[in-house]
Amino acid sequence: MAVISIERMGLLSVFCVCLFFNSAFAVDRGNFKTCDQSSFCKRQRVLKPGQSPYRALLETLELSDSRLTLQLINDNNKVHLLLELYRLQGNMTRVKINELKPLKPRFEVPDVLIAEPPTEPLSVLSKDDNGIVLSLGAESQRLIVSARPFRLDIMEGPEVLLSLNSRGLLAFEHLHLRKDTQAQSDGAEVKESVDGDQQQDEGEKDEDGQSDKEEDGLWEETFKSHTDTKPNGPTSISLDFSLPGVEHVYGIPEHADDLKLKTTDGGDPYRLYNLDVFQYELYNPMALYGSIPVMLAHNTQRTMGIFWLNAAETWVDISSNTAGKTVFGKMLDFVQGSSEKPQTDIRWISESGIIDVFIMLGPKPSDVFSQYASLTGTQSFPPLASLGYHQCRWNYNDQEDVKSVDQGFDQHDIPYDFIWLDIEHADGKRYFTWDPHKFSQPKEMLQGLMDKRRKMVAIVDPHIKVDSGYKIHSEITSKDFYVKNKDGRNYEGWCWPGNSGYPDFTIPEMRAWWASMFAYDQYEGSMENLFTWNDMNEPSVFNGPEVTMHKDALHGKWEHREIHNIYGLYVQMATAEGQIQRSGGVERPFVLTRAFFAGSQRFGAVWTGDNAAEWGHLKISIPMCLSLGLVGVSFCGADIGGFFKNPSTELLVRWYQTGAYQPFFRAHAHLDTTRREPWLFGPENTALIREVIRQRYALLPYWYQLFFQAYRTGMPVMRPLWVDYPKDTATFTIDDEFLIGSDLLVHPVTEEGSRGVTAYLPGAGEVWYDVHTFQKHNGAQNLYIPVTLSSIPVFQRGGSIIPRKDRVRRSSACMENDPYTLYVALSPKKFAEGKLYIDDGHSFNYDAKKEFIHRSLTFANNALTSSNLCPDCNFLTSSWIEKVIILGASKPSKVVLKMDGKETPVDFEFDSSMSVLTLRKPGMNAGDDWTLLLQ
């Protein structure tokens, strides 16, 4: 929420608005740096491949059970680096590079890894003057260290899987003292580094070909009106990776771009730097609100991942020897046989810190997901209600407005679970408070929602109004928990309340205090059905450089430049912990965040930020969420209808149809937009929106099972087709359709005035069933689908079983004990399988007490069977199986339920025109063992 309504701000805030925001509701790219305006990026990009000064000193090799260490030397300046190699459990390799003897410690990112990764022994297979060969154990994998120039190659058999520094772009700007210009001119002084090697004098060039005197931005850098003092000088790092045989790479969110990452030759690299960018542009590599430095590489043989653990500003260059070829050139390769093996080269450039990279070797997509999850954790298992529909805008005016909107959903028979309050609900934007006039009885409001088994989310942002009468500010000040400026005073900047302080969430004690503020006796007016939204946590500073915090601000001994991209993660972490603590550790939290980093998936949901009511923004929501899912964050969505501007009725309906099949399903809008509750666009459009929201609620059992799987395994909930069809090259660039789990394929309509879409149905020999008509289609084809405004093309995979609850009520909690309908879609071999997961929907008892039901559903040999996947689990449900619909069936002579040693006949109907068999009211409890026999 990054554009301000003038009438709601004081005069000082208006000054802020005029200075820093474009009233045209479009991003001002001049507010944000390009690589050429970021001195370290520009400096690093000057380096040319093939001129590496780094050499491995093989005589320094030391090998223990858990790691190998080796010194590297830069032959230009004689600075020594320390290389550490680890073979990790689960087919991963970790590479760390740091200065051997830095002037002071360099920052290493804490709190992102869930634990120190377990290692496996490395062994030396051979060694000579040119290098060493190490065994990586699995499947003839070897790691080759070449000495001059330094290079690492990971091989499997004769194939090179991945190379480090093969292009010679390793660059490590070592910490050194700034030269005294006057002393140098007198010839009086030459500084020494702690390793005893003389530093260059003012005219001598560093490893990057620049000198302190010649290159602007080494010790101080100015962008627009802001100057970044750099007391540590230049500290950037860079490393290149080569991926032979790879043409397709994905990940490194967040960018409003295609799923498949583009080459960056001739343009800016992809930037990872959490920023408050309002109404962002599409299809460019600009930084947005979150940064996850994880990239996936995929071809028909293997999927791999690279995790660059660095929280500073980072740029990622991508080159490909197959990029830029004309169609004729590619045809010529096909006819003549290309002698050039495809290859993608990646270069990571970060402003500071160390090189700490995890190479995840797959080989299957699911392996990479589990490897990354073993490092940073899985998606948190959300409360079931949070998978329902969320109604939000900036802002619902007062308690009467909330009550009226709530009643509107009932009057129009539209289910929802959460209604949201933005910044205007608080008293003068003092978070943890309520406006005394507009929200004077918050508990009464919350109780009214609770009576209908509904919930609320209120915003709590991490900028705190500087006001001595405000409890939160006073306590943070007294505990000395604010971020400091470079002079050691509390850092202050402008945000929604005006002059604001920024809590230092890197301090564990600060996070613990913040969490304690969510206790019911601290957060006055809060109840157990109030949850939290963390916005503006990049952090957003309206009068800061690039609308964020100054890099030379201080978090204890570390500059903000070191930790910038994990600030938002810490905010969400502390907020989620507060929700857990307030319930005595019993209840699952729900926290939405805008800024995020690797590991943020452990703490809740994200959304794609301040989008616009434009067709392009609807379309881009698909690859944006797919990219997040690939790197661990499954709980993703976009503002339904667009945050800025007013959508056409057609766009709004299409956005609901798309959002209903994305993990996080929330409508949200800017303060200055017209109201857009679902019933305000005429009866016909209300009916269309109602129908797709009801489709979402019917599918909640399936969504819930998928989030349980994501929590357990790291598998993304919403995923690209290539994840399940990794050898089908036709899927590798598709990002206008997607899979939900393995069993639902969705092709939203994202073009204005569409009369048809072409969906690719993958899987040679497979079949797909239209979920609305039950019509069967063969896989491995492009299928043209005529559409009307009521159409949302969705297909169920043949061979799957999906549980649904077709009795839709006002909220998910109201459906808790309702019966299930099983949709059994048979494969050509008359087989199908699926799972059913049930728990209480909100507590941690599934984990703490094993209170859940997890069942395997299998159709084979004309029998549908439910069996227990967790015999030592204990949970009772009142839900029962109301109906079974079998697609692609043959007509039986009779159907018998076999249960508890008894056989009972079951009524059925058969539609011969569609080959659909419907079994009515078989009546078994959803948690019991049973078999339905088709005879």
pLDDT tier at 17 (50, 70, 90 boundaries)? very low
Decide if pLDDT at 194 tops 50.
no
- The amino acid occupying position 148 is R
pLDDT tier at 66 (50, 70, 90 boundaries)? confident
Average pLDDT over residues 741-760: 98
Average pLDDT over residues 297-324: 94
| Alpha helices, DSSP H, located in 779-853 | 845-848
Structure confidence by residue, pLDDT tens digits, 646-678: 999 999 999 999 999 999 999 999 999 999 999
User: What pLDDT score does 356 carry?
Assistant: 99
User: What pLDDT score does 817 carry?
Assistant: 98
User: What pLDDT score does 102 carry?
Assistant: 97
User: What pLDDT score does 330 carry?
Assistant: 52
User: What pLDDT score does 139 carry?
Assistant: 67
The CATH number of the domain covering residues in 819-934 = 2.60.40.1180
Tell me the three state secondary structure of residue 784: strand
Q: Where in the chain is the domain with CATH 2.60.40.1180?
A: 819-934
Catalytic residue among 535, 552, 639, 728: 535
User: What pLDDT score does 500 carry?
Assistant: 98
Tell me the three state secondary structure of residue 568: helix
**Which pair of structure tokens corresponds to residue 320?**
């490909």
User: What pLDDT score does 279 carry?
Assistant: 86
- Cβ(490)–Cβ(484) under 8 Å? yes
Residue 40 has phi, psi (to 5 degrees) of: -70, -35
Decide if pLDDT at 208 tops 50.
no
Percent of the chain with pLDDT over 70: 91
Q: Which of 422, 420, 419 is nearest to 394 (CA)?
A: 422
User: What pLDDT score does 230 carry?
Assistant: 96
**CATH class, 460-606 region:** alpha beta
Q: Which of 839, 808, 812, 927 is nearest to 879 (CA)?
A: 927
Residue 72: which residues within 8 A CB-CB, separation 6 or more? 54, 55, 56, 57, 80, 81, 82, 83, 97, 150
Decide if pLDDT at 202 tops 60.
no
Percent of the chain with pLDDT over 90: 90
User: What pLDDT score does 76 carry?
Assistant: 96
Tell me the average pLDDT of the chain: 93
Residue 186 among the catalytic residues: no
Decide if pLDDT at 291 tops 90.
yes
**CATH class, 45-173+232-376 region:** mainly beta
Tell me the three state secondary structure of residue 411: helix
Q: Which helix (H) or strand (E) holds 181?
A: helix 181-185
Decide if pLDDT at 196 tops 90.
no
Q: How far apart are CA 234 and CA 221, in angstroms?
A: 11
Structure confidence by residue, pLDDT tens digits, 524-551: 999 999 999 999 999 999 999 999 999 9
Catalytic residue among 268, 552, 610, 839: 610
**Which pair of structure tokens corresponds to residue 892?**
């039986």
Decide if pLDDT at 697 tops 70.
yes
Q: How far apart are CA 591 and CA 575, in angstroms?
A: 7
**Which pair of structure tokens corresponds to residue 225?**
């009106």
Structure confidence by residue, pLDDT tens digits, 450-476: 999 999 999 999 999 999 999 999 999
Q: How far apart are CA 497 and CA 432, in angstroms?
A: 13
User: What pLDDT score does 922 carry?
Assistant: 97
In 329-370, the DSSP E strands lie at 343-350, 355-360
How many H helices and E strands in the chain? Answer: 17, 53
Residue 610 among the catalytic residues: yes
Annotate 648-716 with three-state secondary structure.
Answer: CHHHHHHHHHHHCCCCCEEECCCCCCCCCCCCCCCHHHHHHHHHHHHHHHHCHHHHHHHHHHHHHHCCC
- The amino acid occupying position 475 is E
pLDDT tier at 11 (50, 70, 90 boundaries)? very low
Structure confidence by residue, pLDDT tens digits, 495-533: 999 999 999 999 999 999 999 999 999 999 999 999 999
Q: Where in the chain is the domain with CATH 3.20.20.80?
A: 460-606
Structure confidence by residue, pLDDT tens digits, 357-397: 999 999 999 999 999 999 999 999 999 999 999 999 999 99
Q: Which helix (H) or strand (E) holds 820?
A: strand 820-825
User: What pLDDT score does 1 carry?
Assistant: 55
Decide if pLDDT at 23 tops 60.
no
Average pLDDT over residues 429-445: 98
Give the position of tokens 């550490």. 84
- Cβ(886)–Cβ(916) under 8 Å? yes
Class of residue 587 by CB neighbours under 10 A (exposed 0-12, middle 13-18, buried 19+): middle
In 462-567, the DSSP E strands lie at 464-465, 492-495, 498-501, 530-534, 554-555, 558-559
Q: How far apart are CA 174 and CA 169, in angstroms?
A: 15
User: What pLDDT score does 138 carry?
Assistant: 66
Decide if pLDDT at 595 tops 50.
yes
Q: How far apart are CA 295 and CA 305, in angstroms?
A: 6
Q: Which of 542, 551, 672, 463 is nearest to 13 (CA)?
A: 542
User: What pLDDT score does 739 carry?
Assistant: 99
pLDDT tier at 327 (50, 70, 90 boundaries)? very low
Tell me the three state secondary structure of residue 403: helix
pLDDT tier at 323 (50, 70, 90 boundaries)? low
